[in-house]
Amino acid sequence: MVKKPISDPPACTGNLLAMRDTLETLGGKWKLLILHYLIVREDDSNTFKKMERDIDGISSKMLSKELKDLEANKLIKREEQKTKPIKVEYSITEYGKSTKEIIDILVNWGKKHRINILESYE
């Protein structure tokens, strides 16, 4: 007799949905790096070109896409300055700052992981 698979308990299903939402909002190679950049440089003038130069490896097309996604999710703010030519600056929102704890945990884990991997080659 084959047992019917038991479905996930409701709490697990809710947690998986919440995790999926988080990964869709923050996932990918660049979003957390951009958020970290804007948190660390909160008091700077963060223009598109400056971010493109400072975030190693990101293309202008990808930066543009990710900035639009982060703005749509209210994590960053885009402001056009009334200058000629028009200057656009990006900043972290108060809501965006709520990702700092996640980012700090990932940075700390990444440092420990790098040490662990490097030690295995010694």
Place of tokens 């990702």: 99
- Six token digits for residue 29: 């190679």
Q: Are the C-beta atoms of 54 and 19 separated by less than 8 Å?
A: no
28-120 has which fold?
Arc Repressor Mutant, subunit A (1.10.10)
pTM of the shown model: 0.83
Which tens digits make up the pLDDT trace of 11-22? 677 788 889 999
Which tens digits make up the pLDDT trace of 56-94? 999 999 999 999 999 999 999 999 988 888 889 999 999
Say whether 77 sits in a helix, a strand or coil: strand
pLDDT of residue 121: 80
CA angle 95, 64, 42 (to 5 degrees): 40
